[in-house]
A and B are shown apart, each in its own frame.
Chain A
Amino acid sequence: MLRLANPARFMRFSAAILPWCAAATALCLGVGLILALFVAPPDYQQGEAVRIMYVHVPAAYMASMIYAVVALASAVALIWRHPLADIAAQEAAPLGAGFTLICLISGSLWGEPMWGTWWVWDARLTSVLVLFFLYLGYLALINAFDDPSRGAKAGAILALVGVVNLPIIKFSVDWWSTLHQPASIFRMGGPTIAASMLWPLGIMALGFTLFFVTLLLVRMRSRLLAARIRAIRLTA
């Protein structure tokens, strides 16, 4: 990590691994989608509509995971002043907000046929909506200052303050009796979901993760290139 703090070295490293990340993303998402849409069995109660799960659950996992990445990068930026940690956090946040929005919308589309309602104010949905607002607040804060380094530091503190929402999201279905179904994968006693559904789900989650890594590298590279262009313009 420390060796990658040098922006030039990071650019060389990311240029080398980016094609592999992109290829792995395409492969995983392609295989995952085929498995999810055609190979995985329909649910005995929900029929074919269960296939929304293969988008909704990985998106939900990404929403929380990316927030944890933002919080971790913010902590590294504040404590060790790693030069690229700030940039990583700021470039990851819009991706996290996007996945949260996908999770909320796909969940809503799934809820209408299954629960008979587009939305319900139960603990899981409300805490994911709060996560979306935390992302929006973070994005607003980092752009609210004329001095970008102040925005970066303020955003880092806000990201750490909002981390308290992550355990609330995870355990909300256990602490409150909610309409959203309880945990069936990451729980004490092992997963209760069938293997024929678990594998496509895992591959889609992996595909989404690789997609995030690829996009994050592209965004960070763009950010560093934009800084370089500004510097060249100033000295030209």
Chain B
Amino acid sequence: MSAWLTLVRRDLRLALRQGGDAAMVIAFFFLAVTLFPLGVGPAPETLSRIAAGIVWVTALLAALLSLERLFLADYEDGSLEVLALMPLPLEFQVLAKALAHWLTTGLPLTLVAPLLALLLHLDRAGFGMLVAGMALGTPTLSLVGAVGAALTLGARRGGVLLSLLVLPLYIPVLIFGVGATEAAITGLAVRPHLLLLTALLLAAIPLAPVAAAAALRQAVE
């Protein structure tokens, strides 16, 4: 357990030492959201109808930004080989990295989302479910993204390839996340959407590390 926590702390320290990383993700989030009123027009009725979708899609894209570097630094300087030889299974190490990624990307995005929803005139009733949905969905994004990052280690055009691989797998999270917000606004049941988001998260927690660890092992052999 302490080895696992040490890994989480190590990744957090590395991420925060770069400093700009989490701030850049939030800045991208803001910028991308700003593009939509400029693109579709500032009319509040139009914006409020698509606000939930805009916030979720831009959160998805922002989460993608920092995924490429998840394992890359360790792969390039050789520490991935050392980590693979540790007694702590590689699957748990992937969980540690995904947790650190979520703490520096997904969690800030979730906390900033209500502010952006305000800018997009999202219906007041949807704010709570937006945050709840993102809190449940962004960890899944980090876990599935870790699989993609492990698969594209050392590939040519790794960044774009990562997006191509991971975005189809993000679609269910997007559908149910937006569905929860829309259900809250229109007064329908939110429980099914939240339950499915939770199910996706609970399925990702054991399965994603297995796939990512398999990909990491064949990257270092």
Bound-state CA distance A28–B18 (Å) is: 63
Bound-state CA distance A37–B151 (Å) is: 46
Chain B residues with CB under 8 A of A118 = none
Asked if A145 meets B155 with Cβ closer than 8 Å, knowing A130-B168, A130-B171, the reply is yes
Contact A146 B156 (CB under 8 A): yes
Is B157's beta carbon under 8 Å from chain A? Answer: yes
How does the 8 Å CB contact mask read for A149-165 relative to B, with 1 for contact and 0 for none? 01001100110111001
Binds B, one of A1-9, A55-63, A97-105, A132-140: A132-140
Is A141's beta carbon under 8 Å from chain B? Answer: yes
**Smallest CB separation, B134 vs chain A (Å):** 22
Can you name the residue of chain A whose Cβ is closest to the Cβ of B147? A161
Contact B156 A161 (CB under 8 A): no
Contact A154 B161 (CB under 8 A): no
**Residues of A in contact, count (CB < 8 Å):** 22
Is B154's beta carbon under 8 Å from chain A? Answer: yes
Is B218's beta carbon under 8 Å from chain A? Answer: yes
Chain A residues with CB under 8 A of B169 = 161-162
Is A144's beta carbon under 8 Å from chain B? Answer: yes
How does the 8 Å CB contact mask read for B145-162 relative to A, with 1 for contact and 0 for none? 001000110111110010
- Most chain A beta carbons < 10 A, residue from B165, B211, B214, B218: B165
**Residues of B in contact, count (CB < 8 Å):** 21
Bound-state CA distance A180–B218 (Å) is: 41
Contact A141 B154 (CB under 8 A): no
Asked if A153 meets B147 with Cβ closer than 8 Å, knowing A146-B156, A160-B211, the reply is no
Contact B168 A157 (CB under 8 A): no
Chain A residues with CB under 8 A of B147 = 157, 161
Can you name the residue of chain A whose Cβ is closest to the Cβ of B158? A144
Contact B215 A157 (CB under 8 A): yes
Asked if A154 meets B164 with Cβ closer than 8 Å, knowing A130-B171, A144-B157, A161-B211, the reply is no
Chain A residues with CB under 8 A of B211 = 157, 160-161
Interface residues of A in 74-125 (CB under 8 A from B): 78
Bound-state CA distance A161–B123 (Å) is: 37
Chain B residues with CB under 8 A of A140 = 161, 164-165
Partner of A157, one of B158, B161, B164, B214: B214
Asked if A158 meets B151 with Cβ closer than 8 Å, knowing A144-B156, A150-B218, the reply is yes
Bound-state CA distance A134–B147 (Å) is: 14
Contact B168 A154 (CB under 8 A): no
Contact B215 A141 (CB under 8 A): no
Contact A141 B218 (CB under 8 A): no
Can you name the residue of chain A whose Cβ is closest to the Cβ of B217? A153
How does the 8 Å CB contact mask read for B166-191 relative to A, with 1 for contact and 0 for none? 01110110000000000000000000
Is B219's beta carbon under 8 Å from chain A? Answer: yes
Bound-state CA distance A158–B169 (Å) is: 11
Bound-state CA distance A136–B215 (Å) is: 19
Chain A residues with CB under 8 A of B218 = 150, 153-154, 157
Bound-state CA distance A126–B167 (Å) is: 13
Can you name the residue of chain A whose Cβ is closest to the Cβ of B218? A153
Chain A residues with CB under 8 A of B161 = 137, 140-141, 144
Contact A133 B164 (CB under 8 A): yes
Bound-state CA distance A165–B171 (Å) is: 11
Partner of B168, one of A133, A145, A146: A133
**Smallest CB separation, A128 vs chain B (Å):** 12
Partner of A150, one of B158, B164, B171, B219: B219
The list of the 5 closest CB pairs from A to B, nearest first, reads: A144-B155, A153-B218, A137-B165, A133-B168, A130-B168
Q: Could you list 27 A-B pairs, sorted by A, with CB under 8 Å?
A: A78-B214, A130-B171, A133-B167, A133-B168, A136-B164, A137-B161, A137-B165, A137-B168, A140-B161, A140-B164, A144-B152, A144-B155, A144-B156, A144-B161, A145-B155, A145-B156, A153-B218, A154-B152, A154-B155, A154-B218, A157-B147, A157-B214, A158-B165, A161-B211, A162-B168, A165-B168, A168-B172
